[in-house]
Amino acid sequence: MSRTQVAADQLALQRLYHWERVAADRVALTQPMGGGVVRDFTWKEVLDQTRRMATYLQSQGLGPGDKVAILSKNTVWWLISDYAIWMAGCVSVPLYPTLAAETIRQILAHSEAKLLFVGKLDGFDGMKAGIPAGLPCVGTPLAPPNSFAQWDDILASTAPMQGQPVREGDELSTIMYTSGTTGVPKGVMHTFATFAWSLQSGLKRVPAINESARMLSYLPLSHVAERTLVEHGQLATGMHVYFAESLETFTTDLQRARPTVFFSVPRLWVKFQQGINAKMPPKKLNRLLGIPILGGIVRKKILTALGLQECQFAAGGAAPMPPELLRWYNKLGLDLVEVYGMTENCGISHATLPGKSRPGTVGLPYEGVSCRLDPANGEIQVKSHGLMLGYYKEPEQTKAAFTDDGWLHTGDKGALDGEGNLKITGRVKDLFKTSKGKYVAPAPIEDRLVMHAAVEACCVTGANLGQPLGIVMLNIDAISRTREAAGRSELESSLGQHLQHINQSLDPHEQLDCLVVVTEPWTVDNGFITPTFKVKRNRIEEVYAARYDGWVGARKPVLWVS
């Protein structure tokens, strides 16, 4: 990455000093402290804590190129830790706050982390075994009880770093370990310039992200979408970032922030929809929305209940957005933009245009992004100044990630419509062949399966079977209904109708033989999903494949797994 592609004043630390200089007393971050208490942080306070922690890191013998890890849910101190790591000349290594101890140990060892910030976490007792004995740790405010050096004590006894230490654009900024749906996490290396370039490209598409914008940070900051949109988005624009406290307070958190920009994964957008449908039957809602004046009142009431009444830019990504879901929100007056990207390109690849929804596609490339389809297998390949340096300490995997002429392999299959909009048709490696010799792309079928109100997650599988089958995991509300015979019977009938409706729209070789209903949750802890809620197909195969023939042989449209 050449520094000439990004102006020096657009790099992360330079932006931090900019806001310290021009907006010192403006509130930058708002943090729930528990018990209904909320604390605001000005840019001056953010920089003061950053400077003191940077001094501390250097006093511990850390310097240029040393790796410092962060294990925490999203908080003010997550961001300040990152800034301090950069100011001290180090490289940050964020860890998902839901990782198992074994994965934590693996990443800390592979990255050669020399210090770990431990922050707000759920289930820390199960994680701490992954922290190597002897690794220096700092406990930030809101962290579980621990014996580490304490953030507030360090600040009280440490002088703030003076001046404005900067990092060059081509210096390594961070190593982001991908969650991955298969295999061992890989450390994606990004520079300060790759993030700055990507953010500038993204902002040209999204003018709503500006100095007066408000965002709620709740998706893991260890994920590229939150890192680019929230962390680097705020550094670029100076917008106000709020943090969520917990799942239980999420509605209150949203209503406090009243975000003007809101990004979420499809799974949460579906949950919002299911919550609304539970309070108002879909047929009644559609009828009310069609009535002049009253329809507008209903729309405003629903969006206000969600905390999205002032949202100017709403987006979904990290997994396909079902077209039916996009159309549903459009009726509410919320035009969801679908975005597409990956850790390896800072999450900046494609997006639909605000006000020009194209359900079923992820839109057009961002400015400066080139895209092509491999004529051999339809794989999407991209090139931009936001591409990673490579995978940390993995030269062979880095080489395999790029074509000989420098394009990034996305692993996704795609097609272009007449306007050049990109449609994701599945994963190159997710395609499977039935015993009839026909290939099936599971992703488009899964987009339809997950639209049933009882379905939390799903997977279409069936290599070497006569027909594919669908495995669906029920959400909590549906599971509670199945405890009574009448509720279970009603749900089985509804799922059977859903299956029949989906099969009518599929080619004969794609039609599902049956739906298998799973009531045991798929979680990060049991390995069925990634921290970004993507189902791990290899785990599904590992646990269930031996039962496929028996399920098919039962000749029932809906089966239950105990």
How confident is the model at residue 3, as a pLDDT?
A: 39
Task: Verify that 420 and 492 share a domain, yes or no.
Answer: no
How confident is the model at residue 180, as a pLDDT?
A: 53
Query: Which candidate, 467, 486, 382, 369, places its Cα nearest to that of 424?
Result: 382
Q: Is-contact 134 112, C-beta < 8 A? A: no
Q: What is the mean pLDDT of the chain?
A: 91
What Å distances lie between residue 512 and 56, 119, 322, CA to CA? 59, 45, 18
How confident is the model at residue 5, as a pLDDT?
A: 73
Containing structural domain, residue 324: 242-427
SS (H, E, C) 193-238: HHHHHHHHHHHHHCCCCCCCCEEEECCCCCCHHHHHHHHHHHHHHC
Distance (Å, whole) CA 327 – CA 329: 6
Task: Verify that 253 and 323 share a domain, yes or no.
Answer: yes
Could you tell me which residue, 420 or 317, shows the higher pLDDT? 420
* CA dihedral for 504, 506, 511, 515, sign (positive or negative): negative
Instruction: Tell me the β-bridge partners of 518.
Output: 473, 561
Distance (Å, whole) CA 266 – CA 340: 12
Task: Verify that 453 and 405 share a domain, yes or no.
Answer: no
Task: Verify that 490 and 420 share a domain, yes or no.
Answer: no
| pLDDT for 349 beyond 70 | yes
Lowest mean pLDDT among 66-75, 96-105, 285-294, 354-363: 354-363
Q: Is-contact 364 421, C-beta < 8 A? A: yes
- Per-residue pLDDT, averaged over 489-518, amounts to 91
Q: Does any domain span residue 281?
A: yes
Task: Verify that 353 and 483 share a domain, yes or no.
Answer: no
Distance (Å, whole) CA 127 – CA 96: 11
Distance (Å, whole) CA 507 – CA 512: 10
Distance (Å, whole) CA 477 – CA 482: 9
Instruction: Tell me the β-bridge partners of 535.
Output: 529
The first and second tokens of residue 53, run together, are: 């922690």
Distance (Å, whole) CA 284 – CA 302: 14
Task: Verify that 418 and 441 share a domain, yes or no.
Answer: no
How confident is the model at residue 277, as a pLDDT?
A: 83
Q: Does any domain span residue 129?
A: no
Q: Is-contact 298 289, C-beta < 8 A? A: yes
Q: Is-contact 282 295, C-beta < 8 A? A: no
DSSP 179-193: --SSSS--EEEEEHH
- Per-residue pLDDT, averaged over 122-141, amounts to 95
How confident is the model at residue 1, as a pLDDT?
A: 39
| pLDDT for 47 beyond 80 | yes
Distance (Å, whole) CA 333 – CA 351: 19
| pLDDT for 213 beyond 60 | yes
- Per-residue pLDDT, averaged over 205-224, amounts to 92
The first and second tokens of residue 361, run together, are: 């596609």
User: How far is C-alpha 134 from the geometric centre of its chain's CA atoms?
Assistant: 32
Q: 158: pLDDT confidence band, cut at 50, 70 and 90?
A: very high
Q: Does any domain span residue 505?
A: yes
- Which residue's entry shows tokens 């002088």? 159
What Å distances lie between residue 280 and 248, 270, 284, CA to CA? 22, 15, 7
Task: Verify that 405 and 543 share a domain, yes or no.
Answer: no
Q: Does any domain span residue 214?
A: no
Q: Does any domain span residue 302?
A: yes
**Alpha helices (H) in 60-113, listed in sequence order:** 76-87, 101-111
Task: Verify that 265 and 395 share a domain, yes or no.
Answer: yes
The first and second tokens of residue 148, run together, are: 């580490």
Task: Verify that 246 and 364 share a domain, yes or no.
Answer: yes
Instruction: Tell me the β-bridge partners of 382.
Output: 371, 408
| CA angle 262–267–268, rounded 5-degree value | 40
Backbone angles phi and psi of 51, in degrees to 5: -65, -40
Could you tell me which residue, 333 or 232, shows the higher pLDDT? 232
- Per-residue pLDDT, averaged over 513-529, amounts to 88
| pLDDT for 436 beyond 80 | no
Strand segments, DSSP code E, in 105-169 are 113-118, 137-139, 149-150
Distance (Å, whole) CA 484 – CA 125: 35
Distance (Å, whole) CA 62 – CA 66: 6
Task: Verify that 392 and 324 share a domain, yes or no.
Answer: yes
What Å distances lie between residue 427 and 15, 205, 440, 441, 444, CA to CA? 37, 26, 11, 8, 11
Query: Which candidate, 281, 266, 275, places its Cα nearest to that of 305?
Result: 275
- Per-residue pLDDT, averaged over 194-203, amounts to 95
Domain boundary among 427, 452, 477: 427
243: left (phi over 0), alpha (psi -120 to 50) or beta: beta
Domain boundary among 381, 404, 427: 427
Task: Verify that 341 and 383 share a domain, yes or no.
Answer: yes
Strand segments, DSSP code E, in 462-540 are 469-474, 515-518
Query: Which candidate, 330, 342, 181, 353, places its Cα nearest to that of 269?
Result: 330
Task: Verify that 327 and 416 share a domain, yes or no.
Answer: yes
Distance (Å, whole) CA 492 – CA 511: 18
Q: Does any domain span residue 542?
A: yes
Q: 2: pLDDT confidence band, cut at 50, 70 and 90?
A: very low
Query: b/e string for 548-558 if b means 16 or more Cβ within 10 A?
Result: beebbeeeebb
Instruction: Give the pLDDT confidence of 440-466 residue by residue, as tens digits.
Output: 888 889 888 988 989 988 999 988 888
- Report the domain count for the chain: 2
Could you tell me the CATH number of the domain that includes residue 452? 3.30.300.30
Q: Does any domain span residue 31?
A: no
How many Å is the maximal CA-CA distance in the chain? 73
Q: Is-contact 235 15, C-beta < 8 A? A: yes
pTM assigned to the model: 0.83
Could you tell me the CATH number of the domain that includes residue 298? 3.40.50.12780
Backbone angles phi and psi of 73, in degrees to 5: -70, 170
Domain boundary among 361, 394, 427: 427
How confident is the model at residue 183, as a pLDDT?
A: 56
Q: Does any domain span residue 527?
A: yes
